[in-house]
Amino acid sequence: MTVAYYQKYRILSFLNPYNSEYLTSKFGLLEIHHLFVGAGWFGKHSFADQFIPEAHTNFVFLSFTYYYGWLFAAILIVILCLVALRIVFIAQNLNDTYSKLLLAGVVMVYTVQLVGNVGMIVGFFPMTNMSLPFISYGLMPILLNAFFIGIVLSIYRRKDLMLTKTLHGNQQ
């Protein structure tokens, strides 16, 4: 099994962030933590003073936090969590077990993406190629999340259809 240099570097910087080799790296956890803590409540409004690698994909939450502040990051997390909560509420109102399990899977994948990306920036998890749902740039993350929302909307649209089938089936 081969591992790319940056993947090995990210795992080693997570395990030993105070190593002098990782302190000077843009992939190092301490540099990411320094940018995250230095953002402040309202962020740094100058876009030219700091280079954030992969600011549009893996580190999009860091770039939003750095440029717009912790307040914007908190609002963004609340909005993304509300999407997951809405899917959970839809699943609770269903009578079909298969639909509930399908929505549970959608919520789990969505939550793993959200918690994985934010936890990576905060420093709870090692840095990986985890996208932030609906925010990160890239074809596959956008298509995956659009596919999941399509499943949720399809199930939500047919929830009354399942209920009427059940009611008519009991009358016969």
Distance of CA 67 to the CA centre of its chain: 19
Distance CA 133, CA 135 (A): 6
Question: If the chain, 172 residues long, is cut into consecutive pieces of 10 residues, what is the mean pLDDT of each piece?
Answer: 71 68 53 68 65 68 82 91 93 86 92 89 77 85 90 83 58 53
d(CA 120, CA 128): 7
Q: What is the C-alpha separation between 59 and 72, in angstroms, rounded?
A: 15
Residue with tokens 């700091």: 50
